[in-house]
Structure 1
Amino acid sequence: MLKSGKFTDKKILLIDKDQVKTNDRTWCFWEQEPGFFEQLVYREWSHLDFFGEGFTATLDVSPYQYKMIRGVDFYAYCFSEIARHPQVEKLFGEVKGLARRNGKVILHIDDREMDLGDPVVFNSLLKEKRSKKDIVLLQHFKGWVIETETPFFDPGKATLMDFRIDQRHGTSFVYVLPFTEHAALVEYTLFTPALLKDEQYDEGLKSYINEYLGISTFLVKEQEFGIIPMSNRIHHFYKDGIYNIGTAGGQTKASTGYTFRFIQKQSDQIVQALINERPLSSIPKPPSRFRFYDNTLLHILYHDQLPGKQIFSTLFRRNDPRRVLRFLDNESTLADELKITSSLPTWPFLKAAAKTIFP
């Protein structure tokens, strides 16, 4: 909104728990063209290693670039830009309630109640009330930025997925993002209904670094931990007088947890609608077939009907990686999707599809 220059006459209130300044997370995504946050891209790769079940390859995804943005750079840039615009007010505290009441928006933050009048409200706080029909997998991950004395890494390529690790907890893989020959982010990722104990993430990381990277001596420079819910629940863009964005507005892909680029695409649609004075209800929803695909795969992973290791290995072994990335971005054609679906094991997916349609 600020970059567009079209909202200089509007007051904007930004509410957050605190002003984060640490490198507490990393966002990874792929694009063919420079994106809105291009200047923040810390590293990018067009060649990605994949280690799966009966399939190992270096994938050439060009013209896509697999990009990485560090949290600390993102926060610094955004708050610096926001500070240049006096019409933006920042309010920090824990939001305990937000609702419309008698035509007004009432905010409960920390121990205060505030009447905000009648603004347009965008909310990214996820508050879930689950039913028995809901499937919820957690994508949870712990990452270490490690540094070595001797060169170990190839900065020219990253590891997208390495499934060689133990799968006893469920679908588990590691990805590796090299910064230099001496430093990389190593991320241990799982798709399971429950979290692990903290020491189990550490054990998984140590084991992978020692056994598969062949590194016995290293220094942990930074750590990060995150949880992304992967659910078949419908998250409404507009509900009770409030527009929901981010994961709260359904921008997390249910089958993979990818969120960052979906948020950017939705944000652009919202701003264009506001600039052109179109109702936000005119923003098109993603084609329903993608939700069907996601829920089918989510059903299989949740009920452990096929190992995730086998599914993703088959997906990349039998398809051009660019087709897979288009599919995961909800930008594939029906022809792409026919090739994708026909490459996967037929019977388990048919059964899961039937359960998805007729729960």
Structure 2
Amino acid sequence: MISPFTIDHSLLTTHYHYIISGLGLAGMSLLMRMMQDPFFDDKQILVVDKAPKQQNDRTWCFWEKEKGLFESIVYHQWKQLDFFSNDYSATLAIDPYRYKMIRGIDFYQYVLQKAANKSNVHFHYEEVLGVGNENNKAVLTLPSGKITADYIFNSILFREPKITARQYMLLQHFKGWVIETPTPVFDPSKATFMDFRVSQKEGTTFMYVLPVSTNKALVEYTLFTETLLPQEKYSEELIQYLSDYLGINTFTIEQEEFGIIPMTNHVFPSVEGKVIYIGIAGGQAKGSSGYAFQFIQKRTASVVDALKNNRVPKADNSINAKKFRLYDSVLLSVLHHKKLNGDQIFAAIFQKNPPQRVLRFLDNETSVWDDLHIMNSVPTGIFLKAAMQQLFR
């Protein structure tokens, strides 16, 4: 087979059953699910991205009750979460959920090692210029030429989405440091899920603290705003938080990560002919929170199920999915128009609901009864007006 780190230009004249465009979380999750199912053993699969994934450039955290597809590479997990704000603070017992962390490098290596045993999986490293359709085939365009497939699964966002009236776009942007301290300062049995005690001057702003030992943790400064900050500002805030709230003034930075996730009620395409969109490009980041890991897992699982049953892998347009898109739009409207600060909203929701209900809500898995409890947690007048504007836009 072709090594995951080899460029083979002979691939460019070949038609494939499936092309996966983009080797991030969505593309690799889909590949993993395909490799696990015997249905795909005789299908030729090409994976394309501009470069191999060889660095620990991401950390994914998510919650789930059972063991998931990537359980064997979970780096650390927590049964308790701390929530802090100026209005409400508590330690939350989340059983039966576990809050789990997966490091990017472990994820990439795990999937690539599985692919090394699959002769039908091939890798090609070159910038993807675009995807489209020609003669009832999916077409991937590269600087060196075009490749066709029965289906292309694309996770690359080629251009910024155009935001129309009553659509909103916030950016979840964050800088995180994995730090090590000379003395024990952390409790690795619980994580700080959100700490809103930091300045809210820029917009909705909070810290994560994710300890993996008594002297090592990922500390992350996160904002929901329309514009980014100067890079030095993120570092200044991290240093200030470590000193003011954790009493840490001496530490070494083992790793740094920076990311931007669109938070929007813009409707991303799900299917265009033979091109299927996944990941951020397919709208799998929750509009009101930016959470994506579990939504990507659900989407890739549904794609595999559709292919096995000879169906086009369409997006979820059920009533339940539409309900949560409305909820996301309402919260984005409230934040965009600055009707209520994000720290106050999250504090009210966590204060008035068991954490399990909040986690279900963030996963789009609550019942109508749960939803009513969540809605009653926040100022009805503000949110009802925003909901009416979205319903009758």
TM-score band w.r.t. shorter chain = over 0.9
Residue 378 of structure 2 is aligned with which of 321, 333, 344? 344
1:120 maps to what in 2?
A: 151
Runs of at least 4 residues of structure 1 off by over 6 A?
none
Report the more deviating stretch, 15-24 or 188-197. Answer: 15-24
Distance 2:115 2:39 in 1: 15
Contact 1:270/1:283 (8 A) holds in 2: no
The answer on 1:65 being equivalent to 2:101 is no
* 1:283 shift after superposition: 6.0
1:189 maps to what in 2?
A: 222
2:363 maps to what in 1?
A: 329
DSSP 3-state at the match of 1:190:
strand
Aligned length: 357
2:338 maps to what in 1?
A: 304
DSSP 3-state at the match of 1:288:
helix
Scaled by the length of structure 1, the TM-score of the pair is 0.96
Contact 2:175/2:257 (8 A) holds in 1: yes
Quickly say closer, same or farther: Cα 1:312–1:282, change in 2 above 3 A: closer
Contact 2:82/2:91 (8 A) holds in 1: yes
Report the more deviating stretch, 339-348 or 129-138. Answer: 129-138
Contact 1:30/1:66 (8 A) holds in 2: yes
Distance 1:37 1:308 in 2: 32
Residue 231 of structure 1 is aligned with which of 240, 254, 264? 264
Give 1:203's aligned amino acid.
Answer: E
Report the more deviating stretch, 222-231 or 1-10. Answer: 1-10
Report the more deviating stretch, 90-99 or 120-129. Answer: 120-129
Residue 170 of structure 1 is aligned with which of 203, 214, 220? 203
Which structure 2 residue ranges, 5 or more long, are not aligned? 1-33
What does residue range 96-175 of structure 1 map to in structure 2 within 5 Å?
96-109=129-142, 111-116=143-148, 118-126=149-157, 127-133=159-165, 134-175=167-208
Percent identity of equivalent pairs: 49
* 1:132 shift after superposition: 3.5
Give 1:226's aligned amino acid.
Answer: G
* 1:92 shift after superposition: 1.1
The answer on 1:4 being equivalent to 2:40 is no
For 1:128-154, what per-residue CA distance to the aligned partner results, in whole angstroms no more than 9, with x for missing partners? 341342310000000001111110000
Contact 1:104/1:115 (8 A) holds in 2: no
What does residue range 265-304 of structure 1 map to in structure 2 within 5 Å?
265-281=298-314, 285=318, 286-304=320-338
Distance 2:264 2:339 in 1: 17
2:3 maps to what in 1?
A: none
What does residue range 15-94 of structure 1 map to in structure 2 within 5 Å?
15-94=48-127
Quickly say closer, same or farther: Cα 1:278–1:99, change in 2 above 3 A: closer
Distance 1:295 1:95 in 2: 32
Give 2:333's aligned amino acid.
Answer: H
* 1:115 shift after superposition: 3.6
DSSP 3-state at the match of 1:235:
coil
Distance 1:177 1:190 in 2: 17
* 1:79 shift after superposition: 0.9
DSSP 3-state at the match of 1:186:
strand
Distance 2:164 2:271 in 1: 24
1:247 maps to what in 2?
A: 280
Contact 2:138/2:151 (8 A) holds in 1: no
Distance 1:60 1:22 in 2: 33
Distance 2:265 2:96 in 1: 32
Contact 1:146/1:186 (8 A) holds in 2: yes
Quickly say closer, same or farther: Cα 1:70–1:282, change in 2 above 3 A: closer
For 1:143-180, what per-residue CA distance to the aligned partner results, in whole angstroms no more than 9, with x for missing partners? 00111111000001000000000111110000100011
Contact 1:311/1:344 (8 A) holds in 2: yes
Give 1:21's aligned amino acid.
Answer: Q
Distance 2:161 2:351 in 1: 38
Distance 1:218 1:180 in 2: 14
> What CA RMSD, in Å, does the superposition of the two structures yield over aligned residues?
1.4
Scaled by the length of structure 2, the TM-score of the pair is 0.88
Quickly say closer, same or farther: Cα 1:320–1:216, change in 2 above 3 A: same
